[in-house]
């Protein structure tokens, strides 16, 4: 047995977020954590990256601090800032600093969305030094054991791909994720929505057909997340065609022509 296989059985039911593995990603993650290597997870939106990180944090018994990155996110938002409280100036740790002190997993979701200066603060943390320099206070914090930096991005957005600099990128070991294989995706849809096997089969078959359409007019195709959403609406009593229209077709596009093309595929498959 892999000596780094994490004993999930030690956790009570309900404590471990459900995650259906696509391949060997849990092993890769556990080894990266043990070797104190930061991890870059690549994959389309809604393919399970966040759930995977939540699952691994629970299995490794580490707290998880997640930051959803956006284009206004600055280094100070991650590291911390001085605040005025009752007339006095006090330092307030940002989420990255808290994770470094606690030995938590810090997950920066869609990191390339953040302003470029933010990635620079990650550099000394992401190599052998495992240090977080806080310019404002002059502190140098060594990452507590157990700390791990995990970042994700979506290579589908070509323009953003360019903005992850090689000097940042090469500090991380990388894991490529995609949409799960049909049997796995079916299990996910069923578990997440409590739908029956037949509905999960139908939705996964629909996903295969829509994904075959290619991404001509779509920035992204149907994700596992959207399939789960459609199944949940249907389980709650919404007729399937309305559930699929709302959770998949209209969720994917604003264009009437594209929506019509998607709807045609839907009616051919369901
Ligand atoms: P991402 O972070 O890649 O955008 P998420 O992890 O938020 O995607 O996944 C979206 C939803 O899809 C989850 O809330 C869950 O319901 C479902 N899901 C996707 N992949 C998996 C998986 N492998 N195991 C369990 N649930 C999954």
Domain ranges of the chain: 13-176, 182-269
Crossing angle for the helix pair 182-193 and 197-212, to the nearest 10 degrees: 130
Atom of ligand 1 nearest to the CA of 53: 6
Backbone angles phi, psi at 37, to 5 degrees: -105, 135
| 174, 39 contact by CB (below 8 A) | yes
Top pLDDT among 66 and 6 is at 66
Burial class (CB in 10 A: 0-12, 13-18, 19+), 259: middle
Question: ipTM of this predicted complex?
Answer: 0.99
Q: Of all atoms in ligand 1, which is nearest to the CA of residue 109? A: 2
pLDDT, tens only, 106-153: 999 988 888 877 888 999 999 999 999 999 999 999 999 999 999 998
The Cα 263–Cα 118 span in angstroms is 42
CA gap 148, 100 in Å, rounded? 8
What average pLDDT does this structure show over 239-264?
A: 95
Class of domain 13-176 (CATH, top level): alpha beta
Determine the Cα–Cα distance for residues 204 and 180; give it in Å rounded to an integer.
10
With a 6 A CB cut-off, is 137 part of the ligand 1 pocket?
no
Q: Are 119 and 111 in contact, with CB atoms under 8 Å apart?
A: yes
* 133 class by beta-carbon count within 10 Å (0-12 exposed, 13-18 middle, 19+ buried): middle
CA 81–ligand 1 middle distance (angstroms): 33
The answer, yes or no, to whether any atom of ligand 1 lies below 6 A from the CB of 62, is no
The atom of ligand 1 lying closest to the CA of 47 is 3
The protein residue whose alpha carbon is closest to atom 17 in ligand 1 is 225
Report the half-sphere exposure of 65 (CA within 13 A, side-chain side): 20
216 — pLDDT class (breaks 50, 70, 90)? low
Q: What is the pTM of this model?
A: 0.92
């Amino acid at each position: 047995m892999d000596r780094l296989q994490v004993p999930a059985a030690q956790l009570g039911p309900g404590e471990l977020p459900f995650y259906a593995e696509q391949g060997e990603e849990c092993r890769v993650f556990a080894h990266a954590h043990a070797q104190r290597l930061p991890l870059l997870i690549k994959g389309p939106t809604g393919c399970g990256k966040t759930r995977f990180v939540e699952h691994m944090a629970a299995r490794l018994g580490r707290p998880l601090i997640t930051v959803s990155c956006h284009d206004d996110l600055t280094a100070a938002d991650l590291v911390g800032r001085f605040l005025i409280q009752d007339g006095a100036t006090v330092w307030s740790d940002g989420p990255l600093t808290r994770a470094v002190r606690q030995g938590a997993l810090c997950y920066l979701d869609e990191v390339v969305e953040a302003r470029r200066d933010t990635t620079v603060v990650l550099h000394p943390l992401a190599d052998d030094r495992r240090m977080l320099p806080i310019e404002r206070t002059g502190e140098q914090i060594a990452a507590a054991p157990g700390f791990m930096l995990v970042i994700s991005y979506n290579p589908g957005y070509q323009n953003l791909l360019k903005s992850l600099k090689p000097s940042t990128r090469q500090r991380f070991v990388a894991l490529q994720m995609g949409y799960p294989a049909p049997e796995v995706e079916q299990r996910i849809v069923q578990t997440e929505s409590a739908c029956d096997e037949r509905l999960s089969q139908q939705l996964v078959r629909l996903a295969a057909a829509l994904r075959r359409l290619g991404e001509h007019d779509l920035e992204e195709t149907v994700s596992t997340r959207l399939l789960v959403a459609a199944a949940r609406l249907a389980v709650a009593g919404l007729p399937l065609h309305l559930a699929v229209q709302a959770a998949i077709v209209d969720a994917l596009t604003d264009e009437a022509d594209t929506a019509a093309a998607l709807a045609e595929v839907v009616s051919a498959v369901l």
